[in-house]
Amino acid sequence: MQKNKLSDHLVLILGSLFLMVPVVVAFMTSTHAAADIHSNGLSLTWGGNFVETYEKVLTREGGFTGQVTGSRMVMNSFILGIGFALGKIVLSMLAAYAIVYFRMRFATLAFWVIFTTLLLPLEVRIMPSYQVMSELGLLNTYTGLIVPLLASATGTFYFRQFFKSVPDELLEAARIDGAGPIKFFIDVLVPLSRTMIAAIFIIMFVYGWNQYLWPMLMTTDERFFTLMRGIKQILQVWIGSQIPDYNEAFALAVLAMLPPVLIVVIFQSWFIKGLTESDK
């Protein structure tokens, strides 16, 4: 039994190392000077060049891109993440409210229209989506970056599921008290959904933050570059023997993964709950 326990821990430690070491190495290496990385390779120890590297990445123009600074990219990533999360919550809460709480014709039709969006990932319809966007003149705008991503049913289903679990008595009581649909929504349902809204917000924020393909197609103007788009930029200078400044590339990667990692670690239980228990 004792031996078994030991091997259990061994497996877990190996697993944790497998998953964690790349992240730690990326961070540690980013604190070394470029020349240092070139001669000594990746590093697991602190390099002492932290301030210089990150200051350069965040505030200087150039490097991998022509004119955009790292902080601008951080800001754009936040705009995309927050804008996407808020838009998602507003659109999907309203739609779910209509579907669950109203007697109406075409309810089934509306449900299916929304439901079908789950069938086709963005990746398989990128080309026509791009054309639609350029016809609408939305290339290189924040609207073009955010709004098309809202065209999916994820949030709607979350809220639909949640609203269905809200006891019917609440609505009955509210109606006896004379509350109309709008008052019920604002005064009862929204406050009740607070945790749900918060959970969806962080999940959607991470999803928006991590968008790669869409920003890559939508933005050619560097002012709209997100961090993910910046990573694409690293690749474009990394051709053959032309090697990028490893420390800056790592610093950009660290900036791009910091919010998702922090959010998952801090809101661990929400994440796990949101993922695994949402079928209740």
Partner 1 sequence: MAYVAPSPRFLPWLTRKPRPKVVAEGDKRVQFSSPVLPYLFLAPQLAVIFIFFYWPSVQAVSSSFYIEDPFGFGSTFVGMSNYTDVLTSAQYRGIALFTVVFTALVTLFSLSIGLLLAVKADAVIRGSSAYKTMLISVYAIAAPVAALIGMMFFDQHIGPFVEVASWFGWDMRVGLSYFDTAFAMIVVAVWKQVPYNFIFFLSGLQSVPVSVREAAAIDCKSGFRRFWTVTLPLLAPTAFFLLIINVTYSLFDTFGIIDVMVKDKAANNPITLVYKVYEDGFRGNDLGSSSAQSVILMIVVFVLTIFQFRFVERRIHYT
- The mark string for 11-40 relative to partner 1 (x by CB under 8 A, - otherwise) is xx--xx-xxx-xx-xx--x-------xx--
Q: Pick from 185, 154, 171, 170: which is nearest to 278 by CA?
A: 154
User: Can you tell me which of 67, 71, 131, 143 binds partner 1, judged by CB under 8 A?
Assistant: 131
CA dist., res. 95 & res. 146, Å (int): 18
2 contributes a contact to partner 1 by CB under 8 A: no
- Binders of partner 1 in range 222-251 (CB under 8 A): 228, 231-232, 234-236, 238-239, 243, 246, 249-250
Kindly report the number of other CB atoms within 10 A of residue 146's CB atom.
Answer: 23
134 contributes a contact to partner 1 by CB under 8 A: no
- Using the minimum distance from each CB to partner 1, give the nearer residue, 68 or 114: 114
Kindly report the number of other CB atoms within 10 A of residue 228's CB atom.
Answer: 22
- Binders of partner 1 in range 175-204 (CB under 8 A): 175, 180-182, 184, 203
CB-based contacts of 15: which residues, under 8 Å, 6+ apart?
none
In whole angstroms, the minimum distance from the beta carbon of 152 to partner 1 comes to 4
Identify which range of 50-58, 59-67, 86-94, 190-198 contacts partner 1 by CB under 8 A: 86-94
- Binders of partner 1 in range 88-127 (CB under 8 A): 90-92, 94-95, 97-104, 107-108, 110-127
- Using the minimum distance from each CB to partner 1, give the nearer residue, 79 or 150: 150
**What would the DSSP string read from start to end of 225-262?**
--HHHHHHHHHHH--TT----HHHHHHHHHHHHHHHHH
- Binders of partner 1 in range 46-85 (CB under 8 A): none
- Using the minimum distance from each CB to partner 1, give the nearer residue, 71 or 143: 143
Identify which range of 50-58, 59-67, 146-154, 189-197 contacts partner 1 by CB under 8 A: 146-154
CA dist., res. 273 & res. 271, Å (int): 5
Could you tell me how many residues of this chain bind partner 1 (CB under 8 A)?
Answer: 118
User: Can you tell me which of 66, 128, 178, 191 binds partner 1, judged by CB under 8 A?
Assistant: 128
CA dist., res. 68 & res. 59, Å (int): 9
In whole angstroms, the minimum distance from the beta carbon of 51 to partner 1 comes to 22
**Could you tell me where the DSSP H helices lie in 136-237?**
142-146, 154-165, 168-176, 181-184, 190-192, 194-209, 213-218, 227-237
Q: Pick from 39, 34, 37, 66: which is nearest to 52 by CA?
A: 34
- Using the minimum distance from each CB to partner 1, give the nearer residue, 75 or 136: 136
User: Can you tell me which of 85, 189, 251, 256 binds partner 1, judged by CB under 8 A?
Assistant: 256
In whole angstroms, the minimum distance from the beta carbon of 266 to partner 1 comes to 10
How close are the terminal C-alpha atoms of the chain, in Å? 37
In this structure, what token pair is assigned to residue 60?
A: 């200087």
270 contributes a contact to partner 1 by CB under 8 A: no
